[in-house]
């Protein structure tokens, strides 16, 4: 397998990572995946033929092993990201400092292409620390390494996601309060994001470009939750929660040891521009991908939340 192309995937053990590994293996890439707990990521080896996936130790304070992997790579993909901060993980380190280091290593070792996965809405002037840190990571990546390509997906959905599954779980309550009920986004299937990553590696002359990735539909937060309830056959009242109350609630819940459903920083995101493709950048169709409809596909994994399970009929 020494003649195969090599891709190093940081964050490869996450939601998008497993799909990315599968697609890269189909394109004859060997995948090197740095991870903090390799013994928990054995499932990644089931996504590719034997020998295609190698797990190595990841230490955010010591990049020696990662540098060795990058030095032998044709492509480097950064999927590392967090949705909320805690004492050990901060937005600035995860979304800004780590991309800074990775892009410098890509420049040092003359990697052919670096794919940095960010998010729609990244903005240096945002009230949200998450969005500001995402923009900083993009800026440093583009500045440090000319062969960088930025992908900005909207809300990514799929069988293991923390969005459709979360609200399906919340269906135990007869009333589901939604913050930013009219906030619009453009949900995209995780398989389409994985396809976009592989296509972005293969396309020529797209270095320094930014792609915004959205699905075929723009939908409001409230309507998406109603669609989830309809998919699992549950009649629930979906109502709007005032932002002022949501901010107080999220601040209090942030004191608990487990993460809140909605953080104060996420409340700030919901007060800003909708999470949709801006039409000022390249988009998923520039990667020759026709995205699938999340609403049509989510029944293939949300069936387990129906009262009768997989074989229940939805009225």
Mean confidence (pLDDT) of the chain = 92
pLDDT attached to residue 221? 96
Is residue 5 predicted with pLDDT exceeding 80? yes
Is residue 1 predicted with pLDDT exceeding 60? no
Specify which residues 9 forms β-bridges with: 77
Q: What are the pLDDT digits (tens) for 207-256?
A: 999 999 999 999 999 999 999 999 999 999 999 999 999 888 888 777 66
pTM for the predicted model, two decimal places? 0.94
pLDDT attached to residue 63? 87
- Tell me which of 279 and 194 has the higher pLDDT: 194
What pLDDT band is residue 312 in, cutting at 50, 70 and 90?
A: low
pLDDT attached to residue 315? 53
Q: What percent of the chain has pLDDT over 70?
A: 95
Q: What are the pLDDT digits (tens) for 129-139?
A: 999 999 999 99
CA distance 176 to 48: 40
pLDDT attached to residue 2? 59
CA distance 178 to 53: 41
What pLDDT band is residue 311 in, cutting at 50, 70 and 90?
A: low
pLDDT attached to residue 190? 98
- Reference 270, options 192, 189, 205, 184; nearest CA is 184
pLDDT attached to residue 41? 84
Is residue 310 predicted with pLDDT exceeding 70? no
Q: What are the pLDDT digits (tens) for 68-123?
A: 999 999 999 999 999 988 888 899 999 999 999 999 999 999 999 999 999 999 99
- Reference 237, options 167, 173, 169; nearest CA is 173
pLDDT attached to residue 258? 67
Token pair, residue 241, equals 């929660």
**Residues in the chain, how many?**
315
pLDDT attached to residue 11? 93
CA distance 161 to 221: 16
Tell me the mean pLDDT in the region 42-52. Answer: 88
**CATH fold of 5-156+188-214+276-291:** Rossmann fold (3.40.50)
Is residue 314 predicted with pLDDT exceeding 60? no
What pLDDT band is residue 25 in, cutting at 50, 70 and 90?
A: very high
What is the secondary structure of the chain as a DSSP string? -TTSEEEEEETTTSHHHHHHHHHHHHTTEEEEEEES-GGG-GGGGGGS-TTSEEEEE-BTTB-HHHHHHHHT-SEEEE----SS--SS--HIIIIIIHHHHHHHHHHHTT-SEEEEE--TT--TT-S-HHHHHHHHHHHHHHHH-TTEEEEEESSEESTT-SSHHHHHHGGGSSEEEEETTT-EE--EEHHHHHHHHHHHHHSTT-TT-EEEE--S--EEHHHHHHHHHHHTT---EEEEE-HHHHHHHHHHHTTSSSPPSS-HHHHHHHTSS-BS--SSSEEGGGGT--PPPHHHHTHHHHGGGSTTGGGPPP-
């Amino acid at each position: 397998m020494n003649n195969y192309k090599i891709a190093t995937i940081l964050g490869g053990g996450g939601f998008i990572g497993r799909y990315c590994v599968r697609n890269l293996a189909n394109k004859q890439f060997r995948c090197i995946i740095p991870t903090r707990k390799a013994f928990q990521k054995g499932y990644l080896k089931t996504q590719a033929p034997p020998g295609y996936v190698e797990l190595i130790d990841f230490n955010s304070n010591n990049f020696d092993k990662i540098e060795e992997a990058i030095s032998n790579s044709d492509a480097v993909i950064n999927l590392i990201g967090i949705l909320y901060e805690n004492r050990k993980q901060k937005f600035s380190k995860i979304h800004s400092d780590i991309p800074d280091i990775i892009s410098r290593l890509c420049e040092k070792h003359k990697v052919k292409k670096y794919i940095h996965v960010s998010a729609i809405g990244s903005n240096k002037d945002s009230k949200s620390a998450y969005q500001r840190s995402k923009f900083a990571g993009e800026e440093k990546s583009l500045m440090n390494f000319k062969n960088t390509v930025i992908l900005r997906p909207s809300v990514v959905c799929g069988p293991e996601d923390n969005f459709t599954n979360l609200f399906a779980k919340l269906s135990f309550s007869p009333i589901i309060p939604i913050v930013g009920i009219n906030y619009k986004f453009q949900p995209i299937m995780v398989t389409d994001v994985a396809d976009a990553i592989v296509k972005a590696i293969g396309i020529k002359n797209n270095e320094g470009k930014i792609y915004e990735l959205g699905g075929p539909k723009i939908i409001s937060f409230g309507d998406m939750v109603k669609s989830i309830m309809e998919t699992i056959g549950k009649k629930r009242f979906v109502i709007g929660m005032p932002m002022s109350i949501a901010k107080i609630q999220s601040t209090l819940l942030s004191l608990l040891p487990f993460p809140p459903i909605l953080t104060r920083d996420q409340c700030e995101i919901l007060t800003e521009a909708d999470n949709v493709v801006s039409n000022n950048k390249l988009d998923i169709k520039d990667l020759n991908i026709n995205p699938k409809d999340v609403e049509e596909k989510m029944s293939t994994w949300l069936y387990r939340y129906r009262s009768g399970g997989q074989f229940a009929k939805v009225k």
